């Protein structure tokens, strides 16, 4: 069982922003901005590269959850960044799909 699966079932504590039957949103333990929240599906899915047509509903819920994170953390109006790393070259270190919702400061471009 991966790290985020353990967080999803409550085996490892986290600072939860919100959750429902399918998703969990929690604050990153090593934030890269004033607001840095991770949104994960509770069901294990390794990455976007492994997502299939059958995952369309959960992917949509993940996308909408990023808006909720932005609203609940007060960064929706000023702007926020959503990042999904997929694979080693992208910097994915936990192989459980997760979206980073980052904001609360101006961001530079390009990000990498």
What residues have CB less than 8 Å from 45, skipping those under 6 apart?
51, 55, 58, 96, 97
What residues does each domain of the chain span? 3-103
- Could you say which DSSP state residue 74 is in? T
Q: Measure the CA–CA gap between 34 and 6, rounded to whole angstroms.
A: 25
The answer to whether the beta carbons of residues 51 and 44 sit under 8 Å apart is no
Mean pLDDT, all residues of the chain = 96
Tell me the whole-structure pTM to 2 decimals. Answer: 0.95
Each residue of 54-102: pLDDT tens digit? 999 999 999 999 999 999 999 999 999 999 999 999 999 999 999 999 9
3-103 carries CATH number 3.30.428.10: yes
- What is the predicted pLDDT for the residue at 110? 85
- What is the predicted pLDDT for the residue at 55? 97
Tell me the catalytic residues: 98
Whole-Å CA distances, 20 to 2, 103, 107: 20, 23, 30
For residue 2, what are its two tokens?
A: 């991966």
């Amino acid at each position: 069982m991966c790290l985020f699966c353990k967080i999803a079932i409550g085996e490892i504590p986290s600072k939860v922003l919100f959750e429902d039957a399918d998703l969990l949103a929690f604050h990153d333990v090593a934030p890269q901005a004033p607001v840095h929240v991770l949104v994960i599906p509770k069901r294990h899915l390794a990455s976007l590269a492994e997502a299939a047509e059958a995952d369309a509903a959960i992917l949509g819920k993940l996308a909408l959850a990023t808006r909720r994170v932005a609203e609940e953390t007060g960064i929706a109006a000023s702007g926020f960044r959503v990042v999904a790393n997929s694979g080693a070259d992208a910097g994915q270190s936990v192989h459980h799909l997760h979206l980073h919702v980052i904001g609360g400061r101006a961001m530079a471009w390009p990000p990498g």
